[in-house]
Structure formats: C-alpha cells, structure tokens
Amino acid sequence: MSATEKFDVVVVGSGFGGAITAYHLAAGGASVLVLERGPWLTGEDFDHDFKLGSSYTRIFDFTVGDGMSVLAGNCVGGGSVVYFATMPRAPGFVFERHGSIGRRMWPASIDRAALDPWYDLVSEALPVTRQDWRDVPYAGGLFAAACAHAGRTANPVPSAIDKPKCTNCNWMMAGCKFDAKRSLLLNYLPAAVAHGAEIRPLHEVQRLSRTGDGDYLVHYNVVDDTDYRLSGPGGTVEAKLVVLAAGAGATPVILQRSEAELGAMPHAVGRYFSGNGERLNTAVINDERAREVLGLDRGDGQAYGAHQIGKGPCVATWDKLDPTLPEYSRFSLEQLYFPPGLGTILAQAPGATGPTWFGREKKDMLREWQSWLTVFAMTEDDNEGVFGPPPATGNAERIAQQMLGRGALSYQPTDNTRRGWAQSDADVKDILERDGIARVMPWSNDLVGAYTVHPLSSCRIGDDPRTSALDDRHELRGHPGIFVTDGSAVPGALTVNPALTIAALAERAVPGLVRAAQRRGVKVTYGAPSPSAAPAEAVAGRG
C-alpha cells in the first residue's frame, strides 16, 4: 500500500465554487487536487439526443426527496455545464432579508455594493454579456410583448453565452456542443490545470477525517463511468485545506457523514435549505391571439409556435423586485425552456376536467407543445429544507444507472412561501391570460413536491452561529481549514438566477482562503489575473 497522497488543498466539486477557488489557489502556487464525482465531458462529448446514456443523463442528476426534488449538474464543470447561463446580479434588497430568524440572514460585511467588484471579476472571466433584442428568441420576445401589454417592464437578461456561436438549439442541459455557452470548461478549469491543478472525475468524496497533526484526510469512492450505482472505495488524500463545493444537495451530506470523526457540526449544516423559491407555469399560446393582440409575426405564417427554439431564459420581468414590498412577496418571472422527457410530466392541462398531468387532456396539451411558453418564478422561500440522515454513499440512493436517485432532503413549505407562490402564479396568469393570449396552469406540486434547479443555503454563511454554518469568510465554524464556497453558502433565496452570485462569493472568499492556507504552512499568494486570458479551447481529461 503506497503512502497517502498529500496536496496543499483538496477541492471537492468542480462547479463554480470549486473551479474558481482551485484556479486561484493553483495560480498562487498551492498544489491543488479537485475531486469531482461526475464524468469529464467536453464539447465533442455533448449530444443532441434524448437516448438514455447520452450526455444529458450522464451529466445531470434528479434527486427526489420528501417534498423537494433537486436538479443539479454531475460532471466536471458542475452546474455550469448544464445551466442556462442566465447571469443577473442579485438585487440589493436580497441582502437585507431576515427570513424567519428575526435578523439579517446575510453577514453584515456583504451587501450588493460590497459584492459588485466580485461580480465584475466573474463577469470578465466567463464572460457575461448583455443581450440585445436581436439576440432574444421568439419565446422571450413573446413574453416581453405580453408583459408590455399588461403594463409591465421586461428585460433581456445578461448571460454567459457567446451569442455569435449560439445556434438557439435549446439543448443546453445536455452541455453546449458549440462551446457557445460559457461553462467553466472554457475558462477557470483549463486555467487551473495550466497552473498545475489536477482534476479527477468519477471520484466521489464521502467524508473527511483528521490526521494526527491537524491536517485533513479526504475519503473518496471511485464511481463506474456508466452505471453510477456502482461505486467502491477509492482511497484517501491528505490536505492542509479542504474546500467543499459539492453543491447544496451534497456538501452538507459530506459534513454529516464526517461528524463522527471530526466532531459536532454547526447546527446549520444540512438546515435552512432553500430551493430559491422556484415555481414553474406553462402557458399554451393561442397563435391567432398572439398575432392580433401582441402584433407578433415570425414572417412564415405563424405568430409564435417556437417553443423549441432558443437558449434558455432570455427575458425577465423585474417589476416585483421592489424593495418597498414586504419580504416573501418579491419575485422575478422569466421565460424558460425545459426539453421533453423530464420537462413535460409536471405540466398540467389548462381547463382539464379529468386528470391534469396524464391522460387524454394531457395528450391534447402535448399536441400543442410548440405553442407552449414556460414561465419560471423565483420567489422568496423560507429556508424550510432539512437533510435527514445521509444515505450509505454519496448524496442519494441511486435508482437508475444515471440521473435518478432518492435523497434525504425533506421540505415542507411555510405559509410565507405558499403565499409567494400564489402571488407569482397569479402574476403569470395576469400577464399571459389577458385577452385570450394563452391559458396558464402551474406545474403540479403534488407529484414530487416542490422542485428546484437552484439549491441553496444548506451550509450557509452568516454572523449568527445558531443559524449559520460558516462565518463571512466561508470557514466552517469550529473546523478551521474547511471552507464551503458553493450554493450551500448562500444564506437565502435570491429572487434571481444564482450562478453569478455563487461565483462572486467564491471569488470574494479566495483572499481569505489564501490567508488560511498560508497560516497552515502552504506557500501560496493571491493576485492571479482573470482566467479570461486562458486558452479558449476546453481542456479534455481522459481516464
């Protein structure tokens, strides 16, 4: 048996929280190992295909819980490989939220102004660019027109998409074949590798323990490359510093499993989970009315009929992001796209007299699929989610070879959250059912409970040790040398898409990580240039 490998830093997870910290620490001179449980795919590996075993099932996880299902990336690059690259900054009032803890949830040191320089850094690195109306696909344009007709404002949303390269194919959740979507495979990750960081895919971290001299031992399994249900002990790696960035659905589970050996975890580990207050509605557009009422014309005989065309969310309405409104009543609405397969099952047929999500009337609704418009609401939920005892390995008991699993997250929405959902549902109806433009129904919450593509807050920063797991430098309370930089660190729902905020927080955490590493004897400095200077081609890993 060979001696345990040693690195200065082990990073768990290669999404935004892991890639950004891995880059800066490697560029600063530390030896960095990134352990990623998913496979390593790049452009040529991404498929335009719904066949099981194609990229969309290889890189994507759907974890069913009790009252909440979490959709997340499962690959090198994490959420950035499957995301829609919609990158707004969080509105100022979000940082003043109290939730149900009776005090500011965010640390006093962070507000929008404090985060703006970090938002700037990430925006330069990916890069994030504004969308012009000429970039906005039909679905976004229709949503904008309906908003205007209802007296609302609507904005093209900034995104991390190289617009000239984008084909508007809407296959984003399978990974971008054209390298138009700016995932981490195109900037921070190749830059980290260029500076000596090592990335190991199909390496799933289970738990941490301590060595005799106060360093950490990271215990990982190796996962089968096709059947993720098959995993076996891989080994351990020693590190002076551990950065956990496995995502809000997985980071707390690793810490729960580590408690026996590391000692008591802060109360907030695996608590206060937020699904970003998310909610979906499907509108079935009446093409004639879209033409007559909104004046829309594709120039080929149809007013719309373009559900399939686009690049995810492109237009949002921010009228309810109003700081004068009470907490829990603020939200943004965005036009969105989910593909067939997972994206239609929960849609309910408007006006159905029989079952709404299956049967004859659902089939009739599917017949009009190209006239669907999906609207996404991000409301203020109440951090209701709690993780139960962890499964034997990983963060879920895997059911299918890929994608589907059952996790230990339990979520029961409070009246605050339900009210926010009811208000956002009513707003979507008000916008889209005017003058017969469409018929609207929310996705069913009865079948899998609530769902989120933006899991947050399950190991959050804060100033109050009773309700936060991390201090404002992202260090785990009571466990020096363990940092958390993923979506679990975000204190609460953001009312907008979270990726840019998660990334900005990770950038902000880096100087503190560097100082902590230095104190633990690591030779590392801070000050690497933005990885936008990195080669444009994605680095591929094999093996």
Partner 1 sequence: MHDRPVDPVPTQTLEAFADTIIPGVKRFPGDRAISGVAAEDGAVAAGALAVLADPALGLADALNGMAGMLNMHAGDYARKHVVRLDPTVPAFVALSFDERTALVQELTDPSHPEREVWFGAALFCTMAFDSAPHMSTKDALAQGHPGLALIGFATPEPDGLWRFPRFSYERALADPHPDTTSTGSPA
**Rounded Cα–Cα distance for residues 511 and 501 (Å):** 17
- DSSP code of 173? G
CB-based contacts of 507: which residues, under 8 Å, 6+ apart?
20, 24, 118, 121, 122
Instruction: Find the binder of partner 1 among 26, 147, 269, 505 (CB under 8 A).
Output: 147
Residues between 488 and 517 that touch partner 1 (CB under 8 A): 496
Asked whether position 310 contacts partner 1 by CB under 8 A, the answer is: yes
Smallest distance, partner 1 to C-beta of residue 519, A: 35
Instruction: Find the binder of partner 1 among 101, 114, 194, 309 (CB under 8 A).
Output: 309
Smallest distance, partner 1 to C-beta of residue 455, A: 20
Instruction: Find the binder of partner 1 among 64, 160, 193, 490 (CB under 8 A).
Output: 64
Which two structure tokens, joined as six digits, stand for 469? Answer: 């797991």
- DSSP code of 169? B
Asked whether position 366 contacts partner 1 by CB under 8 A, the answer is: yes
Instruction: Find the binder of partner 1 among 111, 215, 259, 319 (CB under 8 A).
Output: 319
Residues between 22 and 61 that touch partner 1 (CB under 8 A): 48-53, 57
**Rounded Cα–Cα distance for residues 268 and 38 (Å):** 27
- Provide the terminal-to-terminal Cα distance of the chain, rounded to the nearest Å: 22
Instruction: Find the binder of partner 1 among 103, 130, 515, 523 (CB under 8 A).
Output: 130
Asked whether position 169 contacts partner 1 by CB under 8 A, the answer is: yes
Smallest distance, partner 1 to C-beta of residue 262, A: 33
Smallest distance, partner 1 to C-beta of residue 354, A: 7
3-class state of residue 482 by DSSP: strand
Pick 158 or 541: Cβ nearer partner 1: 158
**Rounded Cα–Cα distance for residues 76 and 200 (Å):** 9
Pick 370 or 410: Cβ nearer partner 1: 370
Residues between 170 and 209 that touch partner 1 (CB under 8 A): 170-171, 177
Smallest distance, partner 1 to C-beta of residue 165, A: 11
3-class state of residue 76 by DSSP: coil
**Per-position x/- string for 270-299, each x denoting binding to partner 1 as judged by CB under 8 A, each - no binding:** ------------------------x-x-xx
Smallest distance, partner 1 to C-beta of residue 219, A: 26
Query: Where do the DSSP E strands lie in 49-163?
Result: 60-66, 68-73, 155-156
- DSSP code of 193? H
Report the sign of the C-alpha dihedral through residues 17, 336, 446, 406, in that order: negative
Pick 98 or 130: Cβ nearer partner 1: 130
Identity of residue 542: R
Cis amide leading into 391 (omega within 30): no
Smallest distance, partner 1 to C-beta of residue 426, A: 20
Pick 57 or 236: Cβ nearer partner 1: 57
CB-based contacts of 164: which residues, under 8 Å, 6+ apart?
none
Instruction: Find the binder of partner 1 among 21, 86, 123, 424 (CB under 8 A).
Output: 123
Residues between 367 and 386 that touch partner 1 (CB under 8 A): 367, 369-370
Which two structure tokens, joined as six digits, stand for 185? Answer: 């495979």
Residues between 332 and 361 that touch partner 1 (CB under 8 A): 332, 339-342, 344-345, 354-355, 358-360
**Rounded Cα–Cα distance for residues 210 and 216 (Å):** 4
Pick 357 or 483: Cβ nearer partner 1: 357
Instruction: Find the binder of partner 1 among 153, 209, 465, 478 (CB under 8 A).
Output: 153
Where are the alpha helices (H) located in 126-174, listed in sequence order? 138-149
Whose tokens are 């819980």? That residue is: 65
Q: Give the total of residues touching partner 1 (CB under 8 A).
A: 85
Smallest distance, partner 1 to C-beta of residue 456, A: 18
**Rounded Cα–Cα distance for residues 341 and 497 (Å):** 23
Inter-residue contact 39 to 533 (CB < 8 Å) = no
Report the sign of the C-alpha dihedral through residues 192, 12, 339, 435, in that order: negative
Asked whether position 165 contacts partner 1 by CB under 8 A, the answer is: no
Pick 366 or 536: Cβ nearer partner 1: 366
Output the 3-class SS for 238-290.
Answer: EEEEEEECCCCCCHHHHHHHHHHHHCCCCCCCCCCEECCCEEEEEEEECHHHH
Residues between 393 and 452 that touch partner 1 (CB under 8 A): 399-402, 404, 406, 446-448
Pick 500 or 506: Cβ nearer partner 1: 500
Residues between 220 and 249 that touch partner 1 (CB under 8 A): 229
Asked whether position 117 contacts partner 1 by CB under 8 A, the answer is: no
Asked whether position 137 contacts partner 1 by CB under 8 A, the answer is: yes
Inter-residue contact 28 to 514 (CB < 8 Å) = yes
Distance of CA 391 to the CA centre of its chain: 22
Smallest distance, partner 1 to C-beta of residue 120, A: 8
